Amino acid sequence: MSQYKPLNLLSEEELMFQDAVRNFARNEIGPKVLEMDETQTMDPDIIRQCFELGLMGIEAPGEYGGSESSFFTAILAIEELAAVDPSVSVCVDVQNTLFNNAVLRWGSDALKERYMPKMCTEWVGSYALSEAGSGSDAFALATRAEDCGDHWKINGSKMWITNGGEASLYIVFATVDPSKGYKGITAFLVERGFQGFTVGKKENKLGIRASSTVELIFEDCIVPKENVLGEVGVGYKVAIETLNEGRIGIGAQMIGLARGALEGALAHITERKQFGKAIAEFQGIQFQIAQMATDIEAARLMVYNAARLKDAGKSYVKEAAMAKLFASQVAERVASLCVELHGGVGFTKEFTAEKFYRDAKIGSIYEGTTNMQLQTIAKLILRERS
C-alpha cells in the first residue's frame, strides 16, 4: 500500500512506540474495522489488547499498573489508532485524556488506590457531562445530587456518553445546589453496579459507530460519600480543565483520521488507471494530494505543539482549541475529497473511504463544537491584548 509518511518530529523512543501502535492498529484492528462499523459493536478482544499493550493507562504511574509515560505519548497512540479506526481511537482517547487524567489530578489517594489499578488493566472509563438540555451550555445540567448523610443520592440522566456501553466506572457531573449555579456542580465516581444506575439506549450514529454512545439513567442512585472527585462544588473546574486536555486528543483523532483517508486514496489512485495511465499521474490529482498532505502536516504541528505545551506545564488552552478546530476542519475536507478520489467505489462500503468521511463529522461536534472553539480562541486573544 502507498503510504503518506508524516514529518519526523519524534525522538527514537517515541518513534518506536508509534511503530508499535501502528502495527497493532493495522494488523489487529484493521481486519475488523468494517464489521465493527456495520454491527455497531466494539470487539471485546480489541479492548483487551489495548489494556495488554498499556494503551489504557499511558500516563498513569507504575504503581497502579500504568505506563508512566507522557501526555504526548497518549496523543501519538490516539493518532495512530485513528488512522485505522477512529472508533477504537476515541475509546483510548477518553480513557486517557479525560477519565484517567481527571482521577489522577482530582482524586483522593484512596480513590486512586481503589480505582486506578483497574483502569489501567481491565476497566473502561466514561465521562458523563452532557444532558438533553445541556450541551455547549455544559453547566445548565439538571442532574441532582442530594447529600443523605452517609452517602449521596443522584437523580437525572445523561446523554451522548462515549464509552458508556463498555464502561465499568463513570465520572458523573451533578449539581448539589442549583441556586449556586456552576459553583454547585460536583463530580462523582459512579460504578456500573451501583444501586439506581442504569445504562439506557445506545444511539444509532452516523459515524464512529463501533464506539458506544449511550444514555445514562440515575434513579435514586446511591454513591458512597468518599466517591466525590475533587471537592463538593468544584466539579466545574474538573470539567473545564479536563476538557481542555481532551481537545488535544480530539485533534489527534482528526489528524489520524485524515492520514488514514489519504493513505487509502493514495493506494487507490496509484493502482487505478484511466485514459491509459494511473490516476496519480494526472497533475490535477497531484495538486489535490499535495494540498491535503500540507493541511495534515499543519494540523499535526498544531496538535503536537499543544501536547508539548501541556507536558511542559505551560499555558495551552488557546493552542488546544486552535488544534481541535483546525484538525477537525482538515479531517472533514480530506475525508470528503478522498471519497471523490476513489470515484464510484468511494461511495460504497467496499473501501474505508466512506467510513472515514462519516467518522470525520463528529470532530466538529464533541468536546466543544466548532463555534465554541472559535469563541474560546477569540476570548483568549482579546484577553491577551487587555
Q: Are 128 and 158 in contact (CB under 8 A)?
A: yes
d(CA 359, CA 34): 12
Backbone angles phi, psi at 5, to 5 degrees: -100, 120
Known catalytic residue: 367? yes
Pairing of strands 125-128, 169-175: parallel
Q: Given the residues 226, 271, 367, 384, select the one marked as catalytic.
A: 367
* Residue among 170, 171, 164 at smallest CA distance from 187: 171
d(CA 154, CA 220): 5
d(CA 63, CA 352): 40
Q: What is the 3-state secondary structure (H, E, C) of the chain?
A: CCCCCCCCCCCHHHHHHHHHHHHHHHHHHHHHHHHHHHHCCCCHHHHHHHHHCCCCCCCCCHHHCCCCCCHHHHHHHHHHHHCCCHHHHHHHHHHHHHHHHHHHHHCCHHHHHHHHHHHHHCCCEEEECCECCECCCHHHCCCEEEECCCEEEEEEEEEEEECCCCCCEEEEEEECCHHHHHHHEEEEEEECCCCCEEEEEECCCCCCCCCCEEEEEEEEEEEEHHHEECCCCCHHHHHHHHHHHHHHHHHHHHHHHHHHHHHHHHHHHHHCEECCEEHHHCHHHHHHHHHHHHHHHHHHHHHHHHHHHHHCCCCCHHHHHHHHHHHHHHHHHHHHHHHHHHHHHHHCCCCCHHHHHHHHHHHHCCCCCHHHHHHHHHHHHHHHHC
Residue count (the chain): 386
Active site residues: 367
